[in-house]
Homo-oligomer: A and B are copies of this chain.
Amino acid sequence: MSLLVVGSIALDSIKTPQASVNNIVGGSATYFSLSASKFTKVRLVAVVGRDFPKKYINLLETNGIDTEGLIRDNGETFRWQGEYGKDFSDAKTIATHLNVFANFRPKIPKSYQNTRLIFLANIDPQLQLQVLEQVKKPKLIACDTMNFWIESKRSTLLKLLKSVDAFLLNESEARLLTGEANLILAGKAISRFGPEIVLIKKGENGALLFKGSKIFTAPAYTLEEVVDPTGAGDTFAGGFMGYLAAAKRINDLTFRQAVIYGNIMATFAVESFGVNRLQKASGQEIKKRINYYRQLTKF
């Protein structure tokens, strides 16, 4: 099935205790689409500036990502500068320059309007709602968000949640949104906001999937080395949605398997800076990790 992502493309400058990089391609739509491209053709809606390197557009296109919806605007590309401490928990943002992203008003090309699966990556929930006005009866709509929107645009976000089928967020966002310390109670509370599927990502502790009254709990892959956790959540979402798009049918079991694929794709994302490792992940490598994951969790 067809898959559309609307999100950000950025040039990231990242510092970790081991190394630092400048102006490498990042952004939610980049990680998402490269991850999902391992499973299906992805349609991309995003904006970049005139300074955006051609090599990165080539990277997307050689991975079969449809860039008809990628706007090249006047001005500079969205830039994010961040830093991680020794334990790679939350990134510390040093600087954010929205640049062309400040005026991003997602426009869905006509050829995208009948897309079956939609992923609204983390942008202003008002813009996420505007995307939904431009698409025709998709089979599944999923969205992401961040603490900034939970705090500053709560009512718009809650309105959006009534219109989506699946909501992906991390554990601190789930706690912030609900005021619940217990993640099981938080997930159930979020389900009551509307989405049939709630997926809480817990980083090195795996993920929790709420589907109606049923819960699926998946531990993380046993990753020994993290180089750069930037984009792990979007890569997870890309594996999740990409797997669903490629699945013959979508049911309880497919959703669970999609969580595992999301989980596994994220392991590639964090093994290098940016998308270096992720873009190279072969179908055979993905399968190998899935098989190893089955061994890890069998009892």
Q: Which A residues contact B (CB, under 8 angstroms)?
A: 86-88, 181-185, 202, 204-206, 208, 214-220, 222-226, 253, 256-257, 259-260, 295-299
Contact = CB atoms under 8 A, between A and B. Distances in A.
Given A87-B181, A183-B204, A219-B218, A299 B224 contact: no
B296 A224 contact: no
A261 to B, nearest CB: 10
A88 B181 CA distance: 9
A226 B182 contact: yes
Contacts of A202: 205
Given A181-B87, A182-B226, A183-B204, A217 B220 contact: yes
Contacts of A219: 206, 217-219
A170 to B, nearest CB: 14
Nearest to A86: B181
B223 A298 contact: no
A110 B181 CA distance: 49
Contacts of A224: 182, 184-185
20 contacts: A86-B181, A87-B181, A182-B223, A182-B224, A182-B226, A184-B222, A184-B223, A184-B224, A185-B224, A205-B205, A214-B295, A217-B219, A217-B220, A217-B222, A218-B299, A219-B219, A256-B298, A256-B299, A259-B299, A260-B299
Contact of A297 (B184, B214, B218, B257): B218
Given A184-B222, A256-B299, A297-B297, 12 more contacts: A86-B181, A182-B226, A184-B224, A205-B205, A205-B206, A206-B206, A215-B222, A216-B299, A217-B219, A217-B220, A259-B299, A260-B299
B299 A217 contact: no
A181 B298 CA distance: 25
A294 to B, nearest CB: 9
A188 to B, nearest CB: 8
